[in-house]
């Protein structure tokens, strides 16, 4: 048994135990109207009648999340680089990022709707969540490169931009990828919240409609699909992070 498989076994076994207990509880103890069995959820997700429904809803959610995720990452990288060049901005930028991140999405969504419109609100919420994580990750990572690297660049007469490209960014790359990984669940959740405010489609809309119509299995299926997509994206960034960590350690 290889090392990665050995490390993954406890997690797989723990997940299997939880799902098994959930199945038993749903079949013999809990009310099916509030806790459907995992088998019923998987059956609905795999059903031909519902497959297209979930596919269209998730496609709509990702079409809002991914642009917001990319915009937030770009803004976070830009603000961190600006702080690196102008250290006096460190404290005010950190406070601004923390303030924006601390604002409840439910409270800010109506303001964003009036400012940007309903269609852009999920994008803006996803960007806000991503911006904070990337900004904090990079601000902490910049300056962690060995001092000898910076001294070498100075001796070679390299400018600040060249040092950023050749030393600071490569040294901070693992932190950046880790920030992108951590930001995925937050961005997806913010997108779902944004979809609750009158959008015509998306997983968030499906969750609200299922809840209002007491379609509990549909509700759990939509949530399960969201979790699965979030874990898949998170796992993809984890693989990238492992490769980068091996390269830049």
Q: What is the Cα–Cα distance from 83 to 90, expressed in whole angstroms?
A: 5
- Domains belonging to the chain, first-starting first, are 57-248 (1.10.3720.10)
Q: What is the Cα–Cα distance from 189 to 105, expressed in whole angstroms?
A: 10
pLDDT for the residue 108:
86
Report percent pLDDT > 70 for the chain. 84
Q: What is the Cα–Cα distance from 19 to 89, expressed in whole angstroms?
A: 49
Confidence class for position 223, pLDDT limits 50, 70, 90: very high
First to last CA, the chain: 26
Which tens digits make up the pLDDT trace of 156-206?
Answer: 656 666 666 667 777 788 889 999 999 999 999 999 999 988 788 899 999
- Please say if the pLDDT value at position 15 is more than 60: yes
Q: How many CB atoms lie within 10 A of CB 144?
A: 11
Q: Average pLDDT of the chain?
A: 84
Which tens digits make up the pLDDT trace of 131-161?
Answer: 999 999 988 888 666 565 555 555 565 666 6
The mean per-residue pLDDT over the stretch 62-90 comes to 92
Q: What is the Cα–Cα distance from 193 to 199, expressed in whole angstroms?
A: 10
pLDDT for the residue 76:
93
Confidence class for position 124, pLDDT limits 50, 70, 90: very high
Q: Provide the greatest CA pair distance for the chain.
A: 74
pLDDT for the residue 73:
95
pLDDT for the residue 6:
73
Burial zone of 127 (CB within 10 Å; 0-12 exposed, 13-18 middle, 19+ buried): buried
Confidence class for position 249, pLDDT limits 50, 70, 90: low
Say if CB 140 and CB 210 are below 8 A apart. no
The answer to whether the Cα torsion of 92, 98, 104, 108 is positive or negative is: positive
Distances (CA, A) of 58 to 3, 63, 169, 199: 35, 8, 34, 13
Residues in the chain: 249
């Amino acid at each position: 048994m290889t090392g990665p498989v050995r490390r993954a076994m406890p997690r797989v076994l723990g997940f299997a135990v939880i799902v098994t207990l959930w199945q038993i509880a749903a079949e013999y103890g809990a009310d099916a109207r509030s806790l459907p069995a995992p088998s019923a959820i998987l059956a609905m997700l795999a059903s031909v009648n519902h497959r297209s429904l979930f596919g269209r809803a998730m496609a709509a959610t990702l079409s809002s999340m991914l642009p917001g995720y990319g915009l937030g990452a770009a803004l976070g990288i830009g603000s961190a680089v600006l702080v690196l060049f102008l250290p006096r901005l460190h404290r005010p930028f950190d406070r601004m990022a923390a303030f924006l991140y601390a604002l409840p999405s439910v409270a800010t969504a109506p303001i964003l709707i009036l400012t940007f419109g309903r269609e852009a609100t999920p994008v803006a919420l996803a960007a806000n969540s991503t911006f904070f994580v990337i900004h904090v990750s990079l601000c902490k990572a910049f300056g962690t490169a060995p001092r000898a690297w910076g001294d070498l660049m100075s001796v070679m007469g390299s400018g600040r931009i060249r040092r950023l490209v050749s030393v600071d960014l490569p040294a901070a790359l693992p932190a950046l990828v880790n920030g992108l990984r951590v930001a995925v669940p937050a961005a997806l959740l913010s997108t779902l919240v944004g979809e609750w405010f009158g959008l015509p489609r998306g997983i968030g809309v499906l969750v609200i409609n299922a809840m209002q119509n007491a379609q509990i299995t549909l509700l759990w299926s939509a949530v399960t699909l969201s979790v699965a997509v979030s874990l898949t994206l998170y796992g993809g960034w984890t693989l990238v992070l492992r490769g980068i960590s091996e390269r830049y350690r």
